[in-house]
Structure formats: C-alpha cells, structure tokens
Amino acid sequence: MGAIEQANALLQEKGYAERDLAVHPAPRGRALLKGNKILSPLSDEAELVLRVVRDVVPSGSELGSRTLRAAELRAGL
C-alpha cells in the first residue's frame, strides 16, 4: 500500500468522509490533502503528507466544526 492509500485509510479511521478530507495524487510524485475541512490544500511529497495525516490531523470529532489550515498542519510537524 502506498503513502496516499495509507493516508486515506488513516483519515477514514479518524472519521473523515472523502469529501471532507482526503489525499489525492499530484504531479511529480506529490500528494494533495484537500477537502471541506481544510481551508487551502496542503501539497507536498506523499510521505510527508502521510506523516501530517498520521501525526498532526486530529480526529473528526476533535476537529468538530473547525477548519484546518495548511500552515497550522506544517507547524505541527
């Protein structure tokens, strides 16, 4: 299983529907974290996006009605 698939599985485990937060492939081996729960997409190497999802993105219940920001996620690394 690749980094993008792992990240999406983790997001589902954390309670996110694909429309709310999901990782998509991007050009040149990068990945894009986007959805209704993030203000602006986060784009970086797939392994780094997986790390952000695993270590920084809170569960859906913890996030509640808040919206994530890419800069906030990067700062959490």
Each residue of 38-61: b (16+ CB within 10 Å) or e? Answer: beeebbbebebbbebbeeebeebe
The structure's pTM equals 0.94
Number of domains in the chain: 1
User: For 25-75, how does the pLDDT look when each residue is reduced to its tens digit (9 = 90+)?
Assistant: 999 989 999 999 999 999 999 999 999 999 999 999 999 999 999 999 999
Residue 57, domain extent = 3-75
How are beta strands 42-45 and 22-26 bridged, if at all?
unpaired
Pick from 35, 76, 30: which is nearest to 52 by CA?
76
Give tens-digit pLDDT for 5-32.
Answer: 999 999 999 999 999 999 999 999 899 9
C-beta of residue 69 within 8 angstroms of C-beta of residue 38:
yes
Tell me the residue type at 53: V
Q: Is the pLDDT of residue 1 over 90?
A: no
